[in-house]
Amino acid sequence: MKQTTIARKIEAVGIGLHKGEPIKLVLEPLDANMGIIVSRTDLGISFKLEPQNVINTQMATVIGNEQGFVSTIEHLLGAIHGYGIDNIKISVDANEVPVMDGSAISFCMLLEEAGIDFLEEPKKIMLLKKELEVVEGSKFVRVSSSLKPKFDYTINFNHPVIGEQRYVFEFSKSNFIKEIARARTFGFLKDLQKLQAQNLALGASLDNAVAIDDTHILNPEGLRFQDEFVRHKILDAIGDLSLLGVSLMADYTAFAGSHDLNHKLTLAIFADEKNYEIVKMDKELVKDYAKVFA
């Protein structure tokens, strides 16, 4: 099985979640073995997608350095990983990726429009040699080796609308589009007011997030899934794990996970070369992998 990129350049414009201003997003093909590169066209700088370039995980996954950064990349990365794309250039003219509708489905539509192109080099994947876990109090994220990746995620919010939710997602491209891509980010009205007082979340609206007050969902259309909240957490996790720079063939389990725990998990994987192996696809692996990204 060969590495992939997109077949042609594609552009879109959307609102930034934090600044509330229009942002131009450009996706472009890259050659084999170049990976995923994120570029700030307004600053003329670029970042390679890797854990060492993550500089903040408080409200979103942010990559960058002292020269600049790009925030809220996880939904787009989730879509890119969901489509099994190995090499792509992401360019924005601001410090965040546009939020679109708060899910990954708009990015999926862009990738569909751009098309997928197969390159000459064999695809690489990461295999785990042992189970790895990051624990903080009652919260944890864990990965264990698997050729049929699953995401088993549980959240527990002390809120009448959310409560405890668990979703087990068997990873494949078709399942991603059907079960995960449309799940929107969510936030609490009381937190939004605090953020906007700090000139953050200025672009947040009912068009790009599920908003919740003390007792109700404020969006007139309601939820897209009864358990949309935990499904969105899975979307975040898929995007965060793509920071490994190569497709991870593993089961992922989480309780009350976060961008920060996911980032620490990627660092834990790379902390010791005995934890993993990056291999080129052989015939046996191709059979399993092809099913995942069919």
Q: Please report, for the chain, the start and end positions of each structural domain, with discontinuous segments joined by +.
A: 2-121, 125-293
pLDDT-based confidence at residue 200 (cuts at 50, 70, 90): confident
236 is in an annotated binding site: yes
pLDDT of res. 193: 82
Record: fold of 2-121: Ribosomal Protein S5; domain 2 (3.30.230)
Catalytic residue, chosen from 18, 81, 259, 263, is 259
Per DSSP (E only), the strands in the chain are: 2-6, 10-15, 22-29, 36-40, 45-48, 54-56, 62-65, 68-70, 88-92, 116-122, 124-128, 132-136, 139-145, 150-157, 163-170, 186-188, 210-212, 247-255, 276-280
Mean pLDDT in residue range 46-59: 94
156 DSSP β-pair partners: 164
**259 in active site:** yes
pLDDT-based confidence at residue 185 (cuts at 50, 70, 90): very high
Show the tokens assigned to 61: 């996954």
Share of the chain above pLDDT 90, in %: 88
pLDDT of res. 29: 98
Least confident window among 16-20, 63-67, 290-294:
290-294
* The model's pTM: 0.96
Task: Return the CATH number of the domain spanning residue range 125-293.
Answer: 3.30.1700.10
191 is in an annotated binding site: no
The rounded mean pLDDT for the chain is 94
119-169: pLDDT as tens digits: 999 999 999 999 999 999 999 999 999 989 999 999 999 999 999 999 999
pLDDT of res. 187: 93
18 is in an annotated binding site: no
